[in-house]
């Protein structure tokens, strides 16, 4: 990391668009949607397609899809996300006899490419509508691609700003946890009930604490569904991601950002007080530092620090002059 990197520079938000999202027809069965969402990497879907120009120009932008857009005659009519798949899994739904149109969320909030310029406005939409996927459309309301918190984070230049903030400032302490023997179906039900993206797997630790030993995420549930696992017969310890890399609340958000990049994960577990307290930091958490109100708070803190330093400097020189005279 270069020392002279600016604290903030204007990002090119168009680089945050996934130009090859998963696009399916309304009659596509849910089991087929799940199968396509489980692919890695993913570049395009033969069931439907986005603009040939954008698909060709950005063919190298291959990522695993976290949502499916349901399109009828070039019109976006619905969306299915990993969270939706978890909810269906928790209900024990037969995905072979359900179509995308039967279970899709609609209407879909979209944003025109012309208005996709202001990072703060985009994050406002994510927060206001409680969404994690924002389809970007052209002037004719035709799909161009999808923006997500993860893709926005990649185009920002947050090094110095993230170094100023600590994990404790943005982490969620509302952590849902379960024992290793918990059936995966119960984990899916916990995610659906509490509207969370993961369940931390814990075991008892000394002094009534909990030792995090693994994690099961929405993405895992989608994978299990695609492989047609019987979620009621497999347990957390059989499928959880382990061992865990644990953050401390005092770690910088830059450290969290780097670990997510290196480990290719979307969330990290925070543990302190010998496991008696747990937290979660997600990619969405990291974007909070770019919230206008958050940034105003940072600026105010920096201004107060500068004023304090100036006062201390002035007091020092007055004392120094008094000592000389």
Tell me the pLDDT band of 158, cut-offs 50, 70 and 90. Answer: low
Residue 150 near residue 284 (C-beta atoms within 8 A): no
Task: Tally the residues of the chain.
Answer: 325
**Dist CA 161 CA 274 (whole Å):** 29
The string of pLDDT tens digits covering residues 273-313 is: 877 789 999 988 887 776 655 555 555 555 565 577 667 76
164: exposed, middle or buried (Cβ count in 10 Å: 0-12, 13-18, 19+): middle
91-138, pLDDT tens digit by residue? 988 888 899 999 999 999 999 999 998 777 787 888 888 899 999 999
Q: Which two tokens stand for residue 155?
A: 């185009």
Provide the CB-side half-sphere exposure for 232 (13 A, CA). 4
CB neighbours of 232 closer than 8 A, spacing ≥ 6? 183, 184, 185
Tens-place pLDDT, residues 221-258: 999 999 989 999 999 999 999 999 999 999 988 899 88
Task: Flag the least confident range among 13-17, 173-177, 215-219.
Answer: 13-17
Does pLDDT of 9 surpass 90? Answer: no
| Lowest mean pLDDT across 17-21, 166-170, 292-296 | 292-296
Cα three-residue angle 258-262-268, rounded to 5 degrees: 70
Q: Is the model's pLDDT at 212 over the cut of 80?
A: yes
pTM for this one? 0.72
């Amino acid at each position: 990391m270069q020392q002279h990197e600016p604290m903030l520079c204007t990002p090119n938000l168009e680089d945050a668009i996934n130009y090859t999202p998963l696009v399916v027809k309304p009659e596509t069965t849910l089991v087929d949607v799940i199968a396509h969402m489980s692919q890695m990497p993913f570049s395009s879907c033969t069931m439907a397609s986005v603009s040939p120009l954008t698909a060709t120009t950005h063919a190298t932008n291959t990522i695993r899809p976290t949502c499916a857009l349901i399109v009828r005659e070039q019109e976006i009519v619905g969306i299915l996300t990993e969270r939706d798949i978890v909810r269906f899994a928790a209900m024990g739904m037969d995905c072979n006899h359900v179509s995308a149109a039967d279970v899709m969320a609609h209407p879909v909030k979209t944003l025109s490419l012309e208005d996709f310029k202001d990072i703060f406005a985009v994050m406002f939409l994510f927060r206001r509508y409680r969404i994690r996927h924002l389809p970007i459309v052209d002037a004719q309301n035709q799909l161009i691609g999808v923006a997500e918190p993860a893709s926005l984070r990649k185009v920002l230049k947050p090094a110095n700003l993230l170094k100023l903030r600590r994990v404790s400032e943005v982490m969620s302490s509302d952590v849902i946890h379960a024992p290793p023997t918990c059936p995966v179906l119960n984990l899916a039900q916990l995610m659906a009930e509490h509207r969370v993206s993961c369940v931390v797997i814990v075991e008892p630790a000394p002094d009534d604490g909990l030792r995090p030993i693994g994690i099961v995420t929405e993405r895992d549930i989608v994978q299990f569904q695609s492989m047609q696992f019987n979620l009621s017969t497999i347990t957390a310890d059989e499928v959880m991601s382990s061992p865990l890399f644990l953050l401390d609340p005092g770690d910088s958000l830059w450290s969290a950002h780097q670990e997510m990049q290196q480990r290719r994960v979307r969330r990290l577990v925070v543990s302190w007080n010998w496991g008696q307290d747990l937290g979660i930091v997600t990619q969405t958490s990291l974007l909070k530092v770019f919230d206008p109100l958050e940034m105003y708070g940072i600026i105010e803190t920096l201004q107060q620090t500068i004023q304090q330093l100036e006062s201390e400097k002035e007091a020092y020189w007055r004392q120094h002059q008094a000592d000389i005279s």
